[in-house]
Amino acid sequence: MMKFELKNDNRGLTLMELLVGVAILAVIITPLLHVYVTGANTARKNKLY
């Protein structure tokens, strides 16, 4: 009788790993975006005067 073995292939990402990665990116990108928007607003105000 033949026995079949299931291979446990864990090469993919789990949903938790994906969510943690997105959260880390959000924490990094949010301050950078704030600095960019603040600089753009300051440049626009300086151009008006």
The secondary structure of residue 19, as a DSSP letter, is: H
Whether the per-residue pLDDT at 37 is higher than 90: the answer is yes
Q: Structure pTM? A: 0.61
Mean pLDDT of the chain: 89
How open is the CA angle 22-23-25, to the nearest 5 degrees?
65
The Cβ of residue 14 has, within 10 Å, a number of other Cβ atoms equal to 9
Does the structure show a pLDDT above 80 at 8? no
Cα separation, 9 vs 7, in Å, equals 6
Length of the chain: 49
pLDDT of the residue at 11:
79
Q: Is the pLDDT of residue 2 over 90?
A: no
